[in-house]
Amino acid sequence: MSDDIPPSTNAPKKGWLDKVSQLFQGEPQNREELVDVINDAEQREVITEDTREMIEGVLEVSALRVRDIMIPRAQIVSLNIDNTVEELLSTVISSAHSRFPVVNDDKDHIEGILLAKDLLQYGFKNNETPFTLAQVIRPAVVVPESKRVDVLLKEFRSQRYHMAIVVDEYGGVSGLITIEDILEEIVGEIEDEFVHESAEETEIRQVAKHVYMIKALTPIDDFNSKFNTRFSDEEFDTVGGLVSHAFGHLPARDEKITIDNIEFKVVSADTRRLIQLSVKLPTSNIEEKVT
C-alpha cells in the first residue's frame, strides 16, 4: 500500500480575507504601509478593485468623528410635537424621508424619533381616538460630535437603531447622523430607486393633492407649461434661480415663500444652491390647466 496520500480535493478554499491576512504577515508599521499592502493585493488579483476601495473606506472611517459626516442642523427635516396628522403627512411625503426628529418649540428640544411607517395608520383611516404624536414616537439616541464614527457604526448594528441626534459640547443640537451616512463613507453613495428614472419623470413629481416635488433646476418654461403659470425666464432659466431671487438670499431647508399665489418650500439645499423644492398650488391653476 502506497504511503503517498493524494491531497484532499475537498479542502475549503481560502477567502479574500484569508489572503489579505497572509499579506499582513509582513506587519505594516503605519497606515501608509497598510494601504500599500492593500494596493499590492489588488495588483496581484488577491482582491478586486471594489474590495480594495471598501477596505480603504473602512480605514478612512476609523479616522473620522461624527462631526465630519453629520447632516448639519440647518438641513435637518424635523416635525413638531403639536403638528396634526395632515401637517405631518405633508412633510413626510414632500421630504420622502423614513425617519424624523420630533421637536418641541425648536431643534434643541428633541422629544423623540418618528418612523414614517408608524404614522401611516393614522393618515389613511378614520380613528375615533384623538391622535397625538407622543403616542408613536420612539426614544432619540444622542451622541456627541466627537464620537468616533467606527464606534458609532458598531453601536448602530448592535443596538439596532438607524439614526442619532448629534450634540455639541454645550448640549445644543448640531446635526444628525444615520447608519446610511456611515455606510456611504465605506461603499460610496447609496442611490435610491428614483435615481434611474428619466429626468422628465423626476423633474416634477406629484406627492399629494395640489403638492408637487420639483428639482430646483427645472426650467421655468417647463414649469409654466406644467402648471399654467406665466413666470418670466428672461432673467432666470430655472425655478431655483427664480425662488432664490425672491428670497433675496440662499434659503435654508424648510424656508417658504409665496410667489404669485404659489407656495415654494425648500426641501433640500447645500451651501451653494437649492436642490429640491416643494410646490403647493392654488386650486385655480389646476382647474385652468385641466380645462
Residue of 37, 67, 43, 70 lying closest to 55 (CA atoms):
37
Residue-level pLDDT at 287: 47
Chain-centre distance for alpha carbon 107? 18
CA dihedral 237, 240, 246, 252 (to 10 degrees): -160
**pLDDT tens, residue by residue, 210-229:** 889 898 989 999 999 999 99
The mean predicted confidence, pLDDT, of the chain is 78
11: phi then psi, degrees, rounded to nearest 5: -60, 135
**pLDDT tens, residue by residue, 30-76:** 667 777 777 777 787 777 777 777 777 777 778 889 998 888 887 78
Contacts of residue 280, defined as CB under 8 A and 6 or more positions apart, other chains included, come to 210, 211, 262, 263, 265
Sheet containing strand 142-144, edge to edge, reads 71-72, 173-178, 163-167, 142-144
Residue-level pLDDT at 96: 74
* Grid cell of 208 as nine digits: 399629494
Instruction: Based on DSSP, count helices (H) and strands (E) in the chain, helices before strands.
Output: 12, 12
Residue of 97, 98, 109, 115 lying closest to 73 (CA atoms):
109
pTM for this prediction: 0.55
Residue of 160, 156, 163 lying closest to 114 (CA atoms):
163
Separation CA 232–CA 165 (nearest Å): 42
Residue-level pLDDT at 66: 92
> What's the N-to-C CA distance of the chain in angstroms?
96
Q: Which residue has the higher pLDDT, 291 or 123?
A: 123
pLDDT band at residue 2 under the 50/70/90 scheme: very low
